[in-house]
Structure 1
Amino acid sequence: MLNYAGTPPLAAMAETDSRQLIAAELRSLIARIEISVRLVDAAMEPEDDSAILSAISGSTEIVVLDDVTPRYATVGAALNACRAELGNALQNLSESGNPA
């Protein structure tokens, strides 16, 4: 029998248990990133498309300045990169659990 007294919880777990815990945490992070991506996408959508389109098509002198979309696009790209890297980490973790 192993004595786990005084050992931090993660270090006290069996390797498969800690791998499962890490995988669950990675999945949780991916889900939270996906929620953030949806929020950013929703924030980038114009509130009233018809007003913008009618203003643009009705006059050649209307200029729509949008200084928010580039920042949201940058944030979205960073979140997508994070999601991809976390997906890679999850894949590598699952592959390391399968003996060759």
Structure 2
Amino acid sequence: MLNFAGTPLVTMPETDSRQLIAADLRSLIARIESSMRLIDAAMTQENDSAIVGSADIFVLDDVTPRYATASAALNACRAGLGHALQCLSDSGDPSEIAVSAAERPHLTA
């Protein structure tokens, strides 16, 4: 977790503030990806429990659409944060801020 009680961003050199913002964006992206993995696991668990039942019983799944909607919203947030990170790297030295594709795996809903 970042300590915001320290030196205000306005008094920091531009490169340092961009690096701090980029680190925060990467942290948010990681949290979103973690939430997306949890949603995927919950959807898998829900689907697996429905399969265990009898062949004569049909389960009306009202949970999966909510999971799918939440996952789509998180995916949109992930894309927006990735775009913000890219815009930030476009404003300065990309080697200082940019994250390679290998460092930020993409999850799809």
TM range (shorter): 0.7 to 0.9
Which residue of 2 is the match for residue 20 of structure 1?
19
Distance 1:21 1:50, change over 3 A: closer
- Counterparts in 2 of 1:46-85, with a 5 A limit? 46=45, 49=48, 52=51, 55=54, 58-59=55-56, 62-85=57-80
Contact persistence 2:39–2:67 (CA under 8 A): yes
C-alpha distance after superposition, 1:6-51 (max 9, x if no partner): xx61111011110000000000000000000001111111357376
Q: How many residues align?
A: 88
Q: TM-score, normalised by structure 2?
A: 0.71
Matched, 1:86 2:81: yes
Q: TM-score, normalised by structure 1?
A: 0.77
Identity, in percent, stands at 73
Contact persistence 2:22–2:88 (CA under 8 A): yes
Gaps of 5+ in 1: 1-7
Aligned structure 1 segments of 4 or more residues deviating by more than 2 angstroms: 46-51
Which residue of 2 is the match for residue 5 of structure 1?
none
What is the root-mean-square deviation in Å for CA atoms of aligned residues?
2.2
Distance 1:81 1:18, change over 3 A: same
For residue 20 of structure 1, what is the amino acid of its counterpart? Q
Gaps of 5+ in 2: 1-6, 95-109
Q: Give the structure, 1 or 2, with the largest relative contact order (CA under 8 Å, sep 6 or more).
A: 1
Contact persistence 2:50–2:59 (CA under 8 A): no
